Amino acid sequence: MANLIDLKGETPRLRHPEKQARPDSPVQRKPDWIRVKAPGSKGYSETREIVKSKGLVTVCEEASCPNIGECWDKKHATMMILGEVCTRACSFCNVSTGKPPAGVDEDEPRRVAEAVAEMGLQHVVITSVDRDDLVDGGAMHFVNTIESIRAASPGTTIEILTPDFLRKDGWETRVIDAKPDVFNHNLETVPRLYLSIRPGARYFHSLRLLQKVKDRDPNQFTKSGLMVGLGETKEEVMQVMDDMRSAGVDFLTIGQYLQPTRKHAPIDRFVTPDEFRSYEEIARAKGFLVVSATPLTRSSHHAGEDFARLRAAREALNASRVSGKSA
């Protein structure tokens, strides 16, 4: 009998150490409307090579996004800055959690900008892990990344998907003042479920962040998203829509929650396509400029096309207001 000896003496790092004591939850079989093809196209491989050659991290991979094959085939990738270890422990998310290495990678904004230019992106989405360990929560790293992209690829429109900057003493204003084209911060779920789904966050703080963007720069587009299938009610989702509109949010995304592992929050149910269409109709009636509500909708899915729709919707609204005044 052979004995295996670990010469390095290293224990592989657990991806979600805080979840290991949780009991396993059953993973439900996906319905037909939520299944996608495994990635493997030429475009997918080319995008993957660019990302890896620059030493970058994408939320597409880290969060196990079901749309990665479609998006990467079109050379659409959502860059994730500030490392790959998140200081929060949200029960829905597959991004690695724990204590990240100290500091930030100062060269990362340059490499992100190079990748954006190399891929010839018209629209890019930049997101990040939460970095509660940093004094500014990573705000200046967002600013530096935005500025680097503008220098390397002036024609690219920039969308950011930010953490909440909870207890960061106003550092989020530096990010707002960097004037991304779209400022996205996801509320993720209804207030009743925050303690179990997003325990490190505060619903009204996140809502105030979105409102602060509009207060500081009314022309900056704001965007937020919800997952459904976690046990929320239709009435609760409608209330969150009203809260978002009170904060001036322009663009709403709603998608099906998909359970990454047995240690994550279980799926309560799969919301049907008809229910998503109903949510979209309700949201449009409440005044959102653009709504994307489908089972596979994710914050950055079709972001470039949706930004064009968003800009066109605002132009149409402004034109109707002008014609109404002159009538």
What was the pLDDT predicted at 75? 62
292 is in an annotated binding site: no
Q: What is the pTM of this model?
A: 0.88
What was the pLDDT predicted at 1? 47
What was the pLDDT predicted at 5? 52
Domain parsing of the chain, residue ranges: 38-322
Rounded to the nearest 10 degrees, what angle do helices 234-246 and 203-216 cross at? 30
Segments of 197-317 assigned E as strands: 221-228, 251-256, 290-293
86 is in an annotated binding site: yes
326 is in an annotated binding site: no
**Structural tokens at position 172:** 């989020």
Q: Which residues of the chain have pLDDT under 70?
A: 1-13, 38-40, 59-76, 326-327
Rounded to the nearest 10 degrees, what angle do helices 234-246 and 273-285 cross at? 30
**Structural tokens at position 20:** 């290991």
What was the pLDDT predicted at 66? 66
71 is in an annotated binding site: yes
128 is in an annotated binding site: no
What was the pLDDT predicted at 25? 85
Rounded to the nearest 10 degrees, what angle do helices 108-119 and 42-53 cross at? 150
300 is in an annotated binding site: yes
CATH number for region 38-322: 3.20.20.70
What was the pLDDT predicted at 72? 62
Residues in the chain: 327
